[in-house]
Each structure stands twice: as C-alpha cells, then as structure tokens.
Amino acid sequence: MPEILYRPIHRRRFVKTSLSLAGAVATVTPIYSYATSPSKEVHWAFLSDTHVAGDKEEAYRGFKPYKNLQTVVPQVVSAAPQGVIINGDVARLTGEQSDYQRINELLNPITQKIPVHMTMGNHDDRANFRRAFPDITTQVEEKYVHVIEASPVRMILLDSLLYVNKVAGLLGKSQRSWLENYLATASAMPTLLFVHHTLGDNDSGLLDVDRMFSIIQPHSFVKAVFYGHSHLYQYSEREGIHLINLPAVGYNFSDSQPVGWVDAKLTEKGGDFTLRAFGGNQSEDKRTTHLDWR
Ligand SMILES: [Zn+2]
C-alpha cells in the first residue's frame, strides 16, 4: 500500500468509518486507529524527502539517499515508535516503480513491526505508487488522503502532488472540500496535518495554502502542520498553528542544514520533537524542541 506499509501479521484495523458529505456525494472516511485506549503520550517517527532511487549508488551533493535511509531504518527500529510517517518525495525524481521497490525493501525491517504511512510529494508518481502498492485506499479520488487516530492525537495526511517532477503543489478543490467537511464533523481530538509542500507564498510551494488555512484555522483542535519539500529543518507559526518543516533524509540543499529525521512524543497538550541528524549539519543532533498546542 502506498500510504501505509504493513506486513500481514500487523494488518491495519479498520475500526471506524464515518460519513461526511462532500457536495452531493457521501464519502466514506476510513480511519486507521492504533491505540486501544486513550494514552497520555504517543511516540511517532517523522521522516521526509527520502528521495530513494532504483539505483542504490545514485548520489546528490555527496549524499546517497539509499544509504541514508539504510542508516535511518535501524535508528527507527530501535526507537520503537508506534508508527512512521514519510512526508513525501519518497522517490528520487519521477516516482519510478523501481524507486518504490527499493523503498519497500529498505523499509522492510520497520514494516515487519511498525506501520509506515506516506504522503505524495512532487517527485512521486501516483500511478507507479499504485502499481507498486496495489492495496490502496484514499478519501479523495485522484489523491491519497487518510486519517490516523493515534490517541491522544489525530493525524491527517494530505496530498499536494500536482505535477510529477515540477515543484509547485496543490490540494485542489475536492480535497479542500473533503477537509472542510471532515473537520466540521470531527471530534475535538488534537489534530496534526501532514502535507509535502511548503506553506509560504512562494510559487514553488503549496499554491492553495491560504485556502487551506481558512479551512483549518477556525477549528481550534487543529494544532500543527508538518511539511517537507524545502529540505530545511525549522519551526514557525501561523495564527497559533505550529508549522514544522521536517528535515530531509535523502540530502540537504545547504551545508548548514541537517540530514535526518524527527522523533516525536505527542500528547494532547503539545509535543517534544527530537532531531536525529546523521548527516549535513549535526550540531543540533538530539536537540529536543518542545511545542505547546494552541
Ligand atoms: Zn524533496
């Protein structure tokens, strides 16, 4: 499956479906749920921009994305989170089937034990994703969108892939309508959004970012948006909503930036985010950033 990789022994539990009205069409919303009872803290691993190619030796700026993910996998296994999210640009450039094959092989030690969810980046290809992982579900036709309930938080994985191998991204009207309807009927569980593209006004970012914010801002239970794309590690805020730019696993664009991932401990009040840098600028490796939700 593209957005969630599992071995059969750990098949997802389809615990709940809810109906939300998107225009005249009723949309069934599957929810992946991992906690059997509300827990005080939940532990997840957040990765982004793995950029793995079919060719193991493929390199950029002196980094080999295959090797980098190979480095991360045992770190994640030993951290033992409840789940893993890879926030887009899973594949190197054009989302080839061979890229996803490599990813699947590399993630195997994780997916034997821990579910892996993914979003689509501008270097992913939905058709090849679908071929590589045919057992797929999505909430929005032509996009890959799903909801994870990891009590005490909910995570919504959005799809901003507009064109393969071109930089700009877009949620699009049908996804925005789904999000609007979903949030209008959702419980007040603290909610974190994941989307690949950057959230500024740049032409290379999420082109409907303002329309997304006008949908999410009124719902005070939406606490943070995680994104990637820039290969920068940084924290900012918009109208009380935390914006967390996850570092890239594959390579950085500047020597001042780390290459790594983020180990997250999440509660209903906030989160502790620890950088696990293994390349690039490692000066902030193991540094924890605490955020309080609005
Ligand atoms: Zn990228």
The pLDDT value recorded for residue 30 is: 53
- Can you name the CATH fold of 4-292? Purple Acid Phosphatase; chain A, domain 2 (3.60.21)
What is the Å distance from ligand 1's center to 21 Cα?
34
- Categorize the per-residue pLDDT at 64 as very low, low, confident or very high, splitting at 50, 70 and 90: very high
276 or 27, greater pLDDT? 276
Please, are residues 258 and 275 in contact by the beta-carbon 8 Å criterion? yes
In this predicted structure, the answer to whether residue 142 has a pLDDT above a threshold of 90 is: no
Query: How many Å lie between the centroid of ligand 1 and the Cα of residue 51?
Result: 7
Residue 24 Cα, ligand 1 centroid: separation in angstroms? 36
Average pLDDT over residues 160-186: 96
pLDDT tier, 33 (very low <50, low <70, confident <90, very high otherwise): confident
- Cα separation, 230 vs 143, in Å, equals 22
- Weakest-pLDDT range from 24-33, 154-163, 183-192: 24-33
**pLDDT surpassing 80 at residue 285:** yes
Cis peptide before 81 (omega within 30 of 0): no
* Residue 38 pLDDT: 65
Res 264 pLDDT > 60: yes
Give the long-range contacts of residues 33-40, CB within 8 A, separation 24 or more.
Answer: 33/148, 33/149, 33/150, 33/151, 34/82, 34/83, 34/115, 34/148, 34/149, 34/150, 34/151, 35/82, 35/149, 35/150, 35/151, 37/151, 38/151, 38/152, 39/151, 39/152, 40/152, 40/267
- Sequence ranges of the domains in the chain: 4-292
Distance 257 CA to ligand 1 centre (A): 14
Q: How far is the CA of 25 from the centre of ligand 1 (A)?
A: 34
Report d(CA 138, CA 144) in Å as an integer: 5
Per-residue confidence band for 65, with pLDDT thresholds at 50, 70 and 90 = very high
pLDDT for residue 145 is more than 70:
yes
Using the mean position of ligand 1's atoms as its centre, give its distance from the Cα of residue 29 in Å. 29
Average pLDDT over residues 214-235: 98
Kindly state the tokens that stand for 115: 């579910």
Q: Mean pLDDT, the chain, as a whole number?
A: 89
> What is the CA(1)–ligand 1 centre distance, in A?
21
- Taking the centre of ligand 1 as the mean of its atom positions, its distance from the CA of residue 148, in whole angstroms, is 23
Asked whether the predicted pLDDT for residue 286 surpasses 60, the reply is yes
pLDDT band at 136 (very low <50, low <70, confident <90, very high): low
Percent residues over pLDDT 90 in the chain:
79
Long-range contact pairs involving 264-267 (C-beta distance under 8 Å, separation at least 24)? 264/43, 264/44, 264/45, 264/46, 264/81, 265/41, 265/42, 265/43, 266/41, 266/42, 266/43, 266/44, 266/150, 266/152, 266/153, 266/190, 266/192, 267/40, 267/41, 267/42, 267/152, 267/153
Question: Model-level pTM?
Answer: 0.91
Distance 83 CA to ligand 1 centre (A): 21
In the block, tokens 């190619």 appear at 53
Instruction: Compute, in angstroms, the gap from residue 18 CA to the centroid of ligand 1.
Output: 33
- pLDDT at position 21 over 90: no
